[in-house]
A and B are shown apart, each in its own frame.
Chain A
């Protein structure tokens, strides 16, 4: 990154204050990977269509492949790495494991973060509500049916009741 294009931004990353030097054209995903070694948000389509790159900024899930890093200046950012606490899985993660809500796993962090947002709005979603809310996330392995089961299980386990 050329110097005059760079900026230093402080923000909260998974509940810890951090500072990063970023270029104005860099995306959140690039900065999470390069500066913090966090690879749970990952780029696939690069166009805001698949949801593999999902991160939560100030409580809202965004496509990290399009979201410029400079925009998280001062924001609260939560990534999939921020969900498990003290070595134990978040109830949504647990539900995805138990219901096999994935195959290759590349899309999984995105689905889990969207599920978290869904359950925060709607703690007991119907199948239709789940399908519609998650319809912006794609899974090429097509684990969709299991994802619905996982979301339902997470809802029952009270997946909405926690931080983030």
Chain B
């Protein structure tokens, strides 16, 4: 590689890369297929106790007594821990990323069915489980509220006496001290004059759309193990997506400096947002400190339904259009069912809420978003951070508007999309976003211009498409370290958690590209706060962009040092050298391998060359009154989907015959992984669209197990399923890349529902589109509703 090419590698994103853009097979493949990959779920520590949680049976109530005597009488029970023991260690036992509202164990009161009230510890997990059924907890029930709209009304039973924003997110501070309300956050966006906009509209459309609660069901259960090191240090091994956050939160709770708390993780058997922020970590930590023994708590699949869910949401959307199909006014009110504890719900509300007008250029907009406490299990992040709840509304309504005006849905979108350089409703300009390109690709893949046979008999056919827009969350920070060891081999230390999305492989490719070495030869260390630097968390499709940048910068620093060493050895200027094929090469053909360079530098096989990279994009906080900010996100994400369905008019069953999932990815660092993310997201979202739904009655989950809560299997796959992406390098992305893990979930649900609408003109407003719901809608539309409708 010539000098010019080396420099281009940084500047020109079209440079001929060797590692970036290559479908490197996942580095951990052999470990995963032999069953030897490390998961925290596998960890057993000598002397360890197993904890089994005793959970609330009521949705809202005061605890009037806990009787552990029968449990303690069981042979082998080591201890029963309640909030009383916790309080001896932690005076203020409330945690959470957005609000400090969640007690380590119920504190005087329970706020949802399944809330942890006590923990039984025993060396034998069967003993702990048996004894956990014997802990008697007496409650005095309090009136509860479950529906997000009802809970937001004045006069609803109040679930938290006072709001306690955590302080990590400065834009939540204004909520400090609010009381007498279940609205944990109200976030608004104002642009133009929506009243005038509606007055000037030719037609106005108003709908309410709902999304039910669904669950992550990551296959590795949520699991944490805590153990003491020496007298006053703590190690927490946890299946977590955010080790750095866990460390700071545990430090804060205990009043310890961060350097006495170590949090490490391994491969995650799926995350999807369920393992974010803090879940079991505070509980295992205090248990281990109280009994001075290692403690492990692993949830069963059933318990996970009571631990964290996706938000159910009610979205009221009102849109004013001109007869030519231009949308000129939009008002959206979104109520997010956050359950009993905020978790990251207020951020979901805020960050998805401000995208509720969709990827459209609308002059007059008013968006109001309410994060609402209810007496249901807590809701948090689930792949997409709330985007699919709002896209469900705006993309469903788009097709209703288009059909009413007699405009083709694709054409309707083309007339309204945000073009490059136009301000989004938040005021931040749309940049590096290929909305037209994604629409073109969709149109192409769906063969939208071809005539489509909708059928006439019992089986009707339809096709639909949809888009979804997200602003990657901001501000966040990633730090990485790249090492070259004495033998010339290379390792990346970074806090990004590989939970199946392939981040280890991608980070190896980034480092490998800069250093001129094969990704397969790069070791990526798993997060351990004692040796990997800070990362905000593996969430929100931020890792490739943020950590990718940090790794790239760390590698650039290493490369500069290697070129320096070689420059001295060759007696040439380092700028005349390049890293290539695991060596530094000179224009005249001389070369030194990395191993030789290390020998050159340290005179024996010794030493390290270390580079550090740190990345935090610019950000400007939105004005709380108007939601306006000139710099609200480091990158925009856009997904699109097209669906063809067949619906059985007699049973209401939808068969998805074709599903195309499309995204703007900036640049695909690993094309195969990108495709798999989009396909995996499409299937997961198809489950949420067609059948996945937590059935809650009075806060009790009636289907808290995979037996009753069905997730997609082989027989549920769309017949023709594919992914495609648009690749226009993002000017600020590492090698032009953007995140993609979530992009695939924004659009499949409305695309499938739009196809249903295209097939039979029936509007179904609530997700999922179960046969029952669809059949009821068909029967209603035919004027012969089901008897109980």
A residues near B (Cβ < 8 Å) are 1-2, 23, 25-26, 33-34, 38-47, 49-50, 52, 79-81, 83-84, 89, 93-94, 96-98, 100, 102-109, 112, 131-132, 134-146
Whole-angstrom CA separation of A33 from B216 in the bound complex: 26
| Residues on A with beta carbons closer than 8 Å to the beta carbon of B680 | 103, 141-143
User: Min CB distance, B556 to chain A, in Å?
Assistant: 29
Query: Chain A interface: which of B81-89, B92-100, B217-225?
Result: B217-225
Closest-CB distance, B709 to chain A (whole angstroms): 10
Q: How far is it, in angstroms, between the C-alpha of A126 and the C-alpha of B144 when the chains are bound?
A: 54
Q: A2-B75, A40-B36 are in contact. Are A140 and B218 (CB under 8 A)?
A: yes
Decide: A50 near B35, CB < 8 A? Known: A103-B502, A142-B683, A145-B721: no
B717 & A105 in contact (Cβ 8 Å cutoff): no
Q: A47-B705, A109-B35, A140-B684 are in contact. Are A103 and B219 (CB under 8 A)?
A: no
CA distance A66 to B272 in the complex (A): 27
B21: chain A residues at CB < 8 Å are none
Is B124 in contact with A1, judged by CB distance below 8 angstroms? Answer: yes
Residues of B259-277 at the interface with A, using a CB-CB cut-off of 8 Å, are 267-270, 272
**Once the chains bind, are A104 and B25 in contact (CB under 8 Å)?**
no
Q: Hey, what's the 0/1 contact readout for B699-716 against A, CB within 8 Å counting as 1?
A: 000000111000111110
Contacts of B717 in A (CB 8 A): 131, 144-145
A132 adjacent to B715 (CB under 8 Å): yes
A-B residue pairs in contact (CB < 8 Å), sample of 12: A1-B126, A39-B35, A42-B39, A79-B35, A100-B25, A100-B673, A105-B28, A105-B500, A108-B33, A132-B715, A140-B216, A140-B270
B28 proximity list for chain A (CB < 8 A): 105
Tell me the nearest residue of chain A to B217, going by C-beta.
A140
Q: Is B499 an interface residue (CB 8 A)?
A: yes
Cβ B715 vs Cβ A42 within 8 A: no
> In the complex, which residues of chain B have a beta carbon less than 8 angstroms from the beta carbon of A34?
44
Residue positions of B touching A, CB distance < 8 A: 25-26, 28-37, 39, 41-42, 44, 75, 124, 126, 216-221, 267-270, 272, 300-302, 499-502, 672-673, 676, 679-684, 705-707, 711-715, 717, 721
Q: Residue A135 contacts which of B267, B269, B270, B715 (CB distance < 8 angstroms)?
A: B715
Since A40-B35, A97-B30, A105-B37 are in contact, a sample of 9 more A-B pairs with Cβ atoms closer than 8 Å, ordered by chain A residue number, is: A44-B220, A47-B707, A89-B30, A103-B676, A104-B270, A108-B33, A135-B713, A141-B500, A142-B680
Whether B705 lies near A45 (C-beta < 8 A) is: yes
Closest to B683 in A: A142
Q: Tell me which of B30, B221, B501 contacts A44 (CB under 8 A).
A: B221
| Contact A104 to B35, CB < 8 A, known contacts A2-B75, A46-B300 | no
Flag if A46 contacts B301 (CB, 8 Å): yes
**Could you say which residues of chain B place their CB within 8 Å of the CB of A144?**
683, 714, 717
Q: What residues on B are CB-neighbors of A145 within 8 Å? A: 679, 717, 721
The chain B residue sitting closest to A52, CB to CB, is B219
Q: Are A105 and B267 in contact (CB under 8 A)?
A: yes
Distance of A127 from chain B, by nearest CB (Å): 10
The verdict on A42 contacting B41 (CB below 8 Å), with A80-B34, A105-B267, A106-B219 known, is: yes
Identity of the chain A residue whose Cβ is nearest the Cβ of B722 in the assembled complex: A145
B78, chain A: closest CB distance, angstroms: 16
Contact yes or no, A138 B711, CB < 8 A: yes
Contact status A106-B706, CB under 8 Å: no
Q: Roughly how many angstroms separate A131 CA and B42 CA in the complex, as a whole number?
A: 29
Find the A residue at minimum CB distance from B43: A39
How many Å lie between the Cα of A96 and that of B712 in the bound state? 20
CB distance from A96 to the nearest CB of B (A): 5
Q: Which of chain A's residues has its CB closest to B34's CB?
A: A84
Rounded to whole Å, the gap between the CB of B192 and the closest CB of chain A is 41
Smallest CB–CB gap between B24 and chain A, Å? Answer: 10
Q: Which residues of A contact B707 (CB under 8 A)?
A: 45, 47, 49
CA distance A88 to B41 in the complex (A): 26
What's the Cα separation between A6 and B512 when bound, in Å?
54
B684–A103 contact, CB under 8 A?
no
A42's nearest neighbour on chain B, judged by CB, is: B41
Which residue of chain B has its CB nearest to the CB of A133? B714
State whether A134 and B706 are in contact (beta carbons under 8 Å apart), knowing that A100-B676, A103-B676 are contacts in the complex. no
Ranked nearest first, the 10 interchain pairs of A and B with the lowest CB-CB distance are A40-B35, A104-B500, A106-B269, A105-B32, A103-B500, A142-B683, A80-B35, A97-B29, A93-B33, A39-B42
Contacts of B34 in A (CB 8 A): 40, 80-81, 83-84, 89, 93
Residues A102 and B33 in contact, CB atoms below 8 Å apart: yes
Residues of B within 8 A of A135 (CB): 713-715
Contact B219 A104 (CB under 8 A): yes
Q: In the complex, how many angstroms separate the beta carbon of A80 from the nearest chain B beta carbon? A: 4
Say yes or no: A142 contacts B684, CB within 8 Å: yes
Q: How far is the CB of A103 from chain B (nearest CB, A)?
A: 4
Tell which of A33, A39, A41, A81 has the most Cβ of chain B within 10 Å.
A39
Whose C-beta in chain A lies nearest to the C-beta of B705? Answer: A47
**A67 vs B544: C-alpha distance in the bound complex, in angstroms?**
42
A34 and B218 CA atoms in complex are apart in Å by 23
Q: CA A134 – CA B713 in complex, angstroms?
A: 9
A105 and B269 within 8 A (CB): yes
Determine the residue in chain B with the shortest Cβ distance to A96. B33
- Decide if B220 touches A104 in the complex (CB within 8 Å): yes
Tell me, in angstroms, the Cα distance from A88 to B126 when the chains sit together: 38
B35: chain A residues within 8 A (beta carbon): 38-41, 79-81, 108-109
Please name all residues of chain B whose beta carbon is closer than 8 Å to the beta carbon of A103 when the two chains form the complex.
270, 500-502, 676, 680
Q: Which residues of A contact B711 (CB under 8 A)?
A: 138, 140
Tell me the nearest residue of chain B to A93, going by C-beta.
B33
Given A49-B707, A134-B714, A144-B683, does the pair A104, B30 have CB atoms closer than 8 Å? no
Q: Are B126 and A50 within 8 A (Cβ)?
A: no
- Which residues on the B side are within 8 Å of A143 (C-beta)? 676, 680
Bound-complex Cα distance A107 to B707 (A): 17
Least Cβ distance of B330 to chain A in Å? 33
Q: Are the C-beta atoms of B268 and A81 separated by less than 8 Å?
A: no
The reply to whether A100 and B501 form a contact with Cβ atoms under 8 Å apart is: no
- Output the least CB separation between A100 and chain B (Å): 6
Q: Cα distance A15–B359 when bound, in Å?
A: 60
A149 to chain B, nearest CB (A): 11
Whether B267 contacts A104 by the Cβ 8 Å rule is: yes
CB-CB under 8 A from A98, the residues of chain B are: 25
Question: In the assembled complex, which residues on chain B have CB atoms less than 8 Å from the CB atom of A142?
Answer: 679-684, 712
Q: Provide the bound-state CA to CA distance between A52 and B676, in Å.
A: 20
Q: Which residues of B contact A100 (CB under 8 A)?
A: 25-26, 29, 672-673, 676
Contact of B269 among A25, A104, A112, A131 (CB under 8 A): A104
Q: How far is A141 from B39 in the complex, measured between Cα atoms in Å?
A: 16
Which residue on chain B has the smallest CB distance to residue A26? B126
Which residues of A are found within 8 Å of B37, using beta-carbon distances?
Answer: 105
CB distance from A77 to the nearest CB of B (A): 14
Q: Residue on A with the closest CB to B680?
A: A142
Q: How far is the CA of A52 from the CA of B294 in the complex (A)?
A: 27
Q: How far apart are the CA atoms of A141 and B277 in the complex, in Å? A: 21
Asked whether B501 lies within 8 Å of A47 as measured between CB atoms, the reply is no
